[in-house]
Every structure is written in C-alpha cells, then in structure tokens.
Amino acid sequence: MELVTLKRFEKGFVTAGWFGIISGICLLLFLNITLLTNIDITKNNLYVLIYLAAPFSVIALFSKKSRSLGLWGLSIVLFFMTFILSYFTLGWIVIPFP
C-alpha cells in the first residue's frame, strides 16, 4: 500500500530532476554568453536560475529513480558557484580596488 503512494509521486521527482538539470544548463549558457560577448544580459536571470536549479535538484534526491538527475543538477550548480567564486577572487587579486 505504501509503495503505491510512492510510485504516484515518482513522476514529480523525475520532473524536478530534469528541471534542475535544464536550469543548470541554461545557467551555464547564460554565463558563457556573458563572458564571450562582454554584455551583462543576465544580471537577475542568474540568481533566479540558481534559486530554481538548486531546490529542484535537492527534491530529486529523495527518489531512487531521480537521484542521479538530482546529483547532476547539484553538481552543475556547485560548479557554477565555484567558478564564480574563483573568478571573483582572481579578479580581486589582480585589481583589489576597482
């Protein structure tokens, strides 16, 4: 009886996992466009995508079928945050006071 209720929510967990991955890929796409064109078109979009990708990826971790999707989504978000932190740190080392 309990397994039936868990299978009913399984599709929602998989959908959340895919949404986390797609949000993370869009996040990286916007970052690449910003770095290549030197136009800051993604000021607010980056934060929205981070706040969407991370919770949906965490939600996907609760199901066995969508756990790999959640790990992929979280790894994309963590890679992005690490990249931004290192980018800011190296820029701060080169020019400490803009």
For 73-93, how does the pLDDT look when each residue is reduced to its tens digit (9 = 90+)? Answer: 999 999 999 998 998 899 888
42 pLDDT above the threshold of 70 = no
- Is the Cα dihedral 86, 89, 92, 93 positive or negative? negative
| Angstrom distance (rounded) from CA 56 to CA 75 | 13
- Residues 76 and 21: beta-carbon distance below 8 Å: yes
3 pLDDT above the threshold of 60 = no
Instruction: Report the range of poorest mean pLDDT among 3-7, 18-22, 40-44, 53-57.
Output: 3-7
Mean pLDDT of all residues in the chain?
85
